[in-house]
Structure 1
Amino acid sequence: MKRDDLLDAAEALLCEQGTQALTLSAVADRAGVSKGGLLYHFHTKEALVRGLVARLVEEFDALIASYDSGGPGAYTRAFVEANLAVVMDRDQSRLLRRWATVSAAAADPELLALVREAMHRWHDVDPADDPDPVAARMARLAAEGLWEVVIHDPGLYDEAQLEELRERLLEQL
């Protein structure tokens, strides 16, 4: 059993049943391993949630980097593209992953601090890196906010509307 398979099982439980369902026994059952097999990778529930947070941050950092072409304003454009890629993805597992992970981390101030560190890094961009720092901040917040809205109602915007929003946000930069 791979570590990512265990994290997938934990995310699935969170998305389907909420934070109260996230127990080590339930994750082990969902993953089809013994509790000892789970404990080999994650000694505590907190370690499991820490793994969820770390994976979420690493994957989103990699997605941003995949869109970052360098130069002035490139980071914010990449951030917008990465957020919209997740929102527009037909496989909604990435869309729900952040909600599930942050919900699980919210009960523990140390774990929530890891999420806050990432948010700080994603949003605290050097103003010199953007030609219009206020427009850049607005675009990052709008992209982030769209993700939050679509988590709660994935059908609120159709593909064409999301593409229009993406294009307009990028135009503003």
Structure 2
Amino acid sequence: MKRDLLLDAAEQLLAEQGTTALTLAAVATRAGVSKGGLLYHFPTKDALVKALVQRLIDEFDAAVDERADGSPGGYTRAYVDATFDIVTDRDPHRARRRWAVVAAAATASALADPLREATRRWHRRDDDTDVVTARIVRLAVDGLWEATDYAPLLFDAEECEQLRRRLVRLLEDPGDTSEVAGTAAT
């Protein structure tokens, strides 16, 4: 599909040359289409960046949905597994492209709105488990994603697997939640 070809070209430009290199003319050239062909799908640079962000969100949603099993804590386990699949993807080109899309969205507040809304949805999702533990686990994997965007080889495969297992275990045994429930003695 030509639309995906254009989005791929835009991601590549962002990853290789940064946000200042992302122009409609450069994307058209990279994709091997006319500027008019690009404008048919994306009339503005903002429309292109919004589409890049939406594709990133849709891909993550699909990865989580594919793994979710409907059990208590199942959504958060799927969130952990999907994130670890991304974090442990050793293809540096894909990792840079994901980060580049987020960086491009950060250039204007309105461009990041879909990502902010998705983040709210991901972190407010009811999971039929201890709410605070689920949030801690999701925030931890988000932090891991952020850290590995800056340092992709921060943890080797074994370390990543240890982290993943520990986070999943937290969901299975959240420990003493009395403080969270407001029943702790003061």
Same fold (TM over 0.5): yes
TM-score, normalising length: structure 1 = 0.93
More divergent stretch after superposition (34-43 vs 3-12) = 34-43
Q: Note the alpha carbon deviations across 1:114-156, whole angstroms, 9 max, x for none.
A: 1100000011123xx3422222111101111111111111111
Whole-angstrom distance in 2 between the partners of 1:94 and 1:167: 24
For the Cα contact (< 8 Å) 1:56–1:97, is it kept in 2? no
Q: Which residue of 1 aligns with 2:31?
A: 31
Picking from 134, 148, 151, the partner of 2:149 is 151
Whole-angstrom distance in 2 between the partners of 1:137 and 1:55: 24
Q: Gaps (5+ residues) in structure 2?
A: 172-186
More divergent stretch after superposition (93-102 vs 145-154) = 93-102
More divergent stretch after superposition (114-123 vs 29-38) = 29-38
For the Cα contact (< 8 Å) 1:9–1:30, is it kept in 2? yes
Q: Which residue of 2 aligns with 1:161?
A: 159
Whole-angstrom distance in 2 between the partners of 1:99 and 1:29: 22
Larger radius of gyration: 2
Runs of 4+ that moved beyond 4 A: none
For the Cα contact (< 8 Å) 1:86–1:94, is it kept in 2? no
TM-score, normalising length: structure 2 = 0.87
Whole-angstrom distance in 1 between the partners of 2:51 and 2:10: 10
Q: Note the alpha carbon deviations across 1:52-89, whole angstroms, 9 max, x for none.
A: 01111111100000110112111111111110011112
Q: How do residues 1-173 of structure 1 correspond to structure 2 at under 5 angstroms?
A: 2-126=2-126, 129-173=127-171
RMSD across aligned positions (CA): 1.4
Amino acid at match of 1:144: D
1:93 deviation in Å?
Answer: 4.2
Amino acid at match of 1:163: E
Q: Gaps (5+ residues) in structure 1?
A: none
How many residue pairs end up in the alignment? 171
Q: Note the alpha carbon deviations across 1:82-116, whole angstroms, 9 max, x for none.
A: 10011112334443343211211112222211110
Over the matched positions of the two proteins, sequence identity in percent amounts to 59
1:41 deviation in Å?
Answer: 1.1
2:91 is paired with a residue of what secondary structure?
coil
Quickly say closer, same or farther: Cα 1:75–1:94, change in 2 above 3 A.
farther
Quickly say closer, same or farther: Cα 1:94–1:134, change in 2 above 3 A.
farther
